[in-house]
Amino acid sequence: MKILLLEDDPILSDILLCHLNRHLHQTTHFSDGQSASDALSAQKFDLLILDINVPKLSGIDLIKEIRTYKDTTPAIIITAFQDTAHLKKGFENGCDDYIKKPFDLEELDLRIKNIQKRFNLINEQAIIIDSHLSLMASKNRLYVNEVPYTLTRKECKILLYLSKQKSKVVSSEELIQNLWDYDEMPSEATIRVYIKNLRNIIGKDKIQTVRGNGYIFE
């Protein structure tokens, strides 16, 4: 899922970003409410995780603002406030769930899953290529040791095809026949550029060149 995280505590932010990325969510972090508001006016998110007490615009005020524009993006409030008044204010202004700090990451996972069920947000299952690589094919997003990279559509298809033919030599002609339409046939130089781009991300040793024959994914 595409998640907006609003949290001004740098340590907690790092923990949450690492955890959410590990679960293959695409997470964008902001430390003040105004920056988060600007982002929400420019792009769409699947879920908002918002601290209340942040600079410029509080998490609750941010929810109130976007609800006036009929933005129904589900929102989870996270806060150190323990009183019922802030809980009530959060729900009255349109939050969908509320977590009091400190909290276990497992609790956050459970609440995210509950939001997914309530709002029918499907979290695509990643294709596990190996212990270091996983691929979200529909989003052209590759994770290398949990760090996300955006691929082009063709780079994604080439990597997926080669990984399914592990330890088998795949020629450029085979890639072209299986991944390109007849009227858009690329040159061998184009194939080499795609392979080079993939190697720059996943490492040169992952895709070996078998001279005169093609490529092999190790």
CATH number, domain of 185, equals 1.10.10.10
Domain count for the chain: 2
Residue 59: give its domain's CATH number: 3.40.50.2300
On whether both 176 and 148 belong to a single domain, the answer is yes
Residue 45, pLDDT above cutoff 70: yes
Structure tokens that stand for 128 in this block: 């596990």
On whether both 30 and 72 belong to a single domain, the answer is yes
Q: How far is CA 57 from CA 29, 35, 53, 69, 119, in A?
A: 15, 9, 8, 16, 26
On whether both 108 and 132 belong to a single domain, the answer is no
198 in helix, strand or coil? Answer: helix
Taking alpha carbons only, the member of 56, 42, 57 closest to residue 93 is 57
On whether both 11 and 95 belong to a single domain, the answer is yes
On whether both 114 and 83 belong to a single domain, the answer is yes
Taking alpha carbons only, the member of 44, 30, 33, 110 closest to residue 72 is 44
Strands 214-217 and 207-210: antiparallel
On whether both 101 and 168 belong to a single domain, the answer is no
Q: Which of 87, 119, 151 is the last residue of a domain?
A: 119
Residue 52, pLDDT above cutoff 70: yes
Q: How far is CA 109 from CA 20, 163, 210, in A?
A: 9, 30, 44
On whether both 21 and 113 belong to a single domain, the answer is yes
Question: Which residue range forms the structural domain that includes residue 198?
Answer: 127-217
On whether both 102 and 174 belong to a single domain, the answer is no
Q: Which of 119, 148, 167 is the last residue of a domain?
A: 119
Residue 125, pLDDT above cutoff 90: no
On whether both 135 and 196 belong to a single domain, the answer is yes
Q: How far is CA 55 from CA 14, 42, 61, 151, in A?
A: 18, 20, 11, 35
Q: Which of 119, 138, 167 is the last residue of a domain?
A: 119
| E strands in 23-169 | 26-30, 47-51, 75-79, 97-100, 127-128, 133-136, 141-144, 147-150
Average pLDDT over residues 100-112: 90
On whether both 30 and 97 belong to a single domain, the answer is yes
Mean of the per-residue pLDDT values of the chain: 87
Residue 69, pLDDT above cutoff 80: yes
On whether both 113 and 148 belong to a single domain, the answer is no
**Percent of the chain's residues with pLDDT above 90:** 26
On whether both 111 and 196 belong to a single domain, the answer is no
User: What was the pLDDT predicted at 4?
Assistant: 93
User: What was the pLDDT predicted at 123?
Assistant: 61
Residue 91, pLDDT above cutoff 90: no
